[in-house]
Structure 1
Amino acid sequence: MHPPPSLTYGFIALTLLTAWWFYRLTGSRAVVGIGFVFWLAVHGVLAYRGFYGVTDTLPPRLALVMGPMLVLALATGFSSLGKTLRADLNLTHIHYFHGIRILVEVVFLHGLFTAGLVAEVVTYTGQNIDLLAGITGPLVGLLVFRQGWLSPTYAIVWNFVGMVSLGWTVSRAVLSAPSPYQQYGFEQPTLAIFYFPFIWLPALVAPLMVWAHCLALGRLLRP
């Protein structure tokens, strides 16, 4: 796999920015920062060595990437395990955080599609609607929590819809990648997410968006 260097180095920078921003949003706890470094290192090394390039296993090895982070997001978002994280959460800034999805969709996924490394179905010109979440997330933060022009109910609905949008996007990526479950992208499958550094998209960037949704909903539904 040979993506343009600008996409490779740019995505490394985006991942580090996403991790740092979320780290700041959750109160700069050392355990969060150490966990992110460990998680990125493990999956980065495995991807670099071609571990995820083996796509005929059941269950798919990609499940090892997203599963633990999604469980952590749900646990800390809706249970007492995340009580401290939710208490310190700035609801305005956690919605601004979703603006990162604009860069993911417009710059990186579309750039990888142009380079022949992801299927069109996972881009905004295909079936990916997550760009809308990236655009509207900061607006929710501004209109609901910064200006107070809209009620928090709008934020609750938006977060549920945003999670559905992200789940739809992830499912398109998984189903367009080479595997026994592939349904899309047979002429140009999604390959980039199996390799370094783009493994960090399903390993950290996308799960952090889910985590942000869960923390916001946990705060709004269990004040």
Structure 2
Amino acid sequence: MIESLPDFISISFAIITIVTLYFFYDILKKPNSENIRNKSNLILFGLFIWLIIQGILTLKNIYNSDGNSIPPKILIFGIAPPIFTIMLLFITKNGRDFIDSLDLAKITYLNIVRIPVEIVLFYLSVYNLIPELMTFEGRNYDILAGISAPFIAYYGIKTQKLSRNGILIWNFICLGLLINIIINALLSTPSPFQKFAFEHPNIAILNFPFSWLPTFIVPIIIFGHLVSIRKLTKK
């Protein structure tokens, strides 16, 4: 925990993480495949264990103990495993069957969590725990994805008033917004790769509970966009 930070910010982010987990579980409970529905509790348990592991690693100061390690420890133990899992889902038949069973509208609604995440990032910037460039006052426009998500889900998917190509373009744009903030976050985190924000570096994600952002919430959002793009481009 970060001692100089008011408790309500840390608690708020922990709640956002749990809400994200619940929303994703809700997507798993109502897919087209009964087989996936039967495995939803097992997947939920796996994700819950993953959050606990990341919490322990962060509270044990594994991620912020050595800023000179190459590659950074959070990249090895926190970010690489979910990215590898996403890749595995897309290259295996069972994985693709799982992806194709998910509901496109619910996946789109999931992006709403990006709004409270951006608000928390703003408060972290106020307390100099991340650089301003990682907020909507800087180079981060990711909040626009969260604001527009319910409109895309309702008018684009539920009532089909938007074209398939329009929804696809929205997904590519929002994925680009996410990649933009990921790059800025990595290059402002204390490590041999840091390129800017040396006065107020991105130290929040190396501390609990904010390590859940790059190790859980961001991979879930990336997965959602990739699933949506696959479903929208399939014949």
Q: Shorter-chain TM-score: what band?
A: over 0.9
1:48 counterpart residue number: 59
2:11 aligned partner, one-letter code: Y
Q: Is the CA contact 1:78–1:215 (under 8 Å) kept in the aligned structure 2?
A: no
**Greater than 3 Å deviation, 4+ residue runs:** none
2:194 aligned partner, one-letter code: Q
- Relative to the length of structure 1, the TM-score reads 0.93
2:42 counterpart residue number: 31
2:57 aligned partner, one-letter code: L
* Deviation sequence 1:44-95 (CA, Å, 0-9, x none): 1010010000211001112121122123224425652333333332211211
1:114 counterpart residue number: 126
Q: Distance in 1 between the 2:87 and 2:151 partners?
A: 24
Secondary structure, aligned partner of 2:73: coil
2:213 counterpart residue number: 201
1:93 aligns with 2:106: yes
Cα–Cα, structure 1 residues 120 and 172, in superposed 2: closer, same or farther, change >3 Å?
A: same
42-51 or 182-191, larger mean C-alpha shift: 182-191
Cα–Cα, structure 1 residues 168 and 79, in superposed 2: closer, same or farther, change >3 Å?
A: farther
Q: 2:80 aligns with which of 67, 83, 89?
A: 67
- Relative to the length of structure 2, the TM-score reads 0.89
2:200 aligned partner, one-letter code: Q
Over the residues paired in the alignment, what is the CA RMSD in angstroms?
1.6
Q: 2:19 aligns with which of 17, 20, 36?
A: 17
1:84 counterpart residue number: 97
2:161 aligned partner, one-letter code: W
2:162 counterpart residue number: 150
Unaligned runs of 5+ in 2: 30-36
Identity %: 29
Kindly state the Cα deviation for residue 179 of structure 1 after the two structures are TM-superposed.
1.0
Kindly state the Cα deviation for residue 204 of structure 1 after the two structures are TM-superposed.
0.3
Q: Distance in 2 between the 1:71 and 1:144 partners?
A: 31
1:158 aligned partner, one-letter code: W
Q: Distance in 2 between the 1:81 and 1:75 partners?
A: 10
2:180 counterpart residue number: 168
22-31 or 36-45, larger mean C-alpha shift: 22-31
Kindly state the Cα deviation for residue 162 of structure 1 after the two structures are TM-superposed.
1.5
